[in-house]
Copies of this chain bind each other. A is one copy, B any other.
Amino acid sequence: MNDKGVTAVLLLSCPDQKGLVASVSDFLYRNDGNIIHADQHTDAEEGIFLQRVEWELAGFRVPREEINEAFRPIAERFGMTWRLHFSDYLARIAVLVSKQAHCMYDLLARQRMGEFRAEIPLVVSNHPDLRSVAEGFGAAYHHFTITRETKAAQEQAIIETLEAQRIDVIVLARYMQILSDGFVAHYPGRIINIHHSFLPAFAGARPYHQAYERGVKVIGATAHYVTAELDQGPIIDQDVVRVSHRDSVADMVRKGRDLEKVVLARAVDLHLRNRIIVYGNRTVVFD
């Protein structure tokens, strides 16, 4: 493998204690690592330290396949949880959709334009409608009809499809089926959803109708990791737009669509660039 222009990213968290930054930076310095980004955060209430550090592989004295082992003594000394990533890894994304296409179009177009450090080899849907769109972008389209009776079996079939394609990240692009706990547990911290409201306001179904009914003056969208509890996973990003009495539900839906696709894409991009650490039910986003 060629290391030219490639960077390594270390994402770590552990109980806060003295000497953390010194030890990590010393490890990189001793091995001639040229740091190009470093950021850390201490959650004083929880007593947790979290850090992201990115450095150039070229010139680093530890070969990439040995970095994990070389770093292990430091990690163990401080009780760190850590992950190591390399910037030349091309993640494989599966997009799950139902009938609404705006987020899917946006993700596929971004991938095609090279905005994402990823491939999107396949689209999975519980409806047949969007096949031609997916295939127009060169993604395989897998349609699984889901009923109450078939749900368990079909989810298993979806997992097998995803595994056969070595999928790293699952993006729910307005996928209107609730995933079972078992499915979610299969991809911890690797399923990203877009909720079409400013969570925790208007969790659940038909948030724009709820928002209209309540007469709010601002609506939002929330990208979050999916966990067992519906709409309760760690929030990655949110954004909002003003509305007024002039906006009907249809207008809110229209404005909301633009929020949804932009917020979802930002979350996917942050995930792919290894900018996020999840801890507890929160995220640190090193942007």
Copies of this protein in the complex: 4
Contact of A19 among B29, B199, B201, B239 (CB under 8 A): B29
Q: How far is the CB of A202 from chain B (nearest CB, A)?
A: 7
The reply on A45 being an interface residue by CB < 8 A is yes
Residues from chain B with a CB closer than 8 A to the CB of A148 are: none
In the complex the two chains form, is A199's CB within 8 Å of B220's CB? no
Q: Please, how many residues of chain A have a CB less than 8 angstroms from a CB on the other chain? A: 70
CB within 8 Å of B: which A20-38 residues? 21-22, 25-26, 28-29, 32-38
Q: Is the CB of B18 within 8 A of A29?
A: yes
- A109 and B113 within 8 A (CB): no
A133 closest partner in B (C-beta): B112
Q: In the complex, which residue of chain B has the Cβ closest to the Cβ of A259? A: B262
Is A238 a contact of B215 with CB atoms below 8 Å? Answer: no
Residue A200 interfacial (CB < 8 Å): yes
CA distance A219 to B25 in the complex (A): 34
Question: Is A32 in contact with B44, judged by CB distance below 8 angstroms?
Answer: no
Cα–Cα distance between A64 and B280 once the two chains are bound (Å): 37
Q: Is the CB of A44 within 8 A of B282?
A: no
Contacting residue for A37 out of B42, B110, B216, B236, CB 8 A = B42
Is the Cβ of A218 less than 8 Å from the Cβ of B238?
A: yes
| Nearest Cβ on chain B to A212's Cβ, whole angstroms | 8
Residues of chain B lying within 8 A (CB to CB) of residue A45: 248-249
Chain B contacts for A42, CB-based, 8 A: 35-37
CB distance from A245 to the nearest CB of B (A): 4
A217–B238 contact, CB under 8 A? yes
Tell me which of A19, A40, A240, A245 has the highest count of chain B C-beta atoms within 10 A of its own C-beta: A245
> By the criterion CB–CB under 8 Å, are B245 and A285 in contact?
yes
Interface-lining segment among A90-98, A99-107, A165-173, A180-188: A99-107
Contact with B along A38-68 (1 / 0, CB 8 A): 1111111100000000000000000000000
- With A35-B42, A200-B216, A216-B238 known, 10 other A-B pairs at CB within 8 A are A21-B35, A26-B26, A39-B39, A45-B248, A102-B115, A106-B109, A199-B216, A214-B281, A217-B235, A244-B287
Binding site for B on A (CB under 8 A): 18-19, 21-22, 25-26, 28-29, 32-45, 101-102, 105-106, 109-110, 112-113, 115, 133, 136, 198-202, 214-218, 220, 234-240, 242, 244-246, 248-249, 254, 257-258, 262, 265-266, 269, 281-285, 287
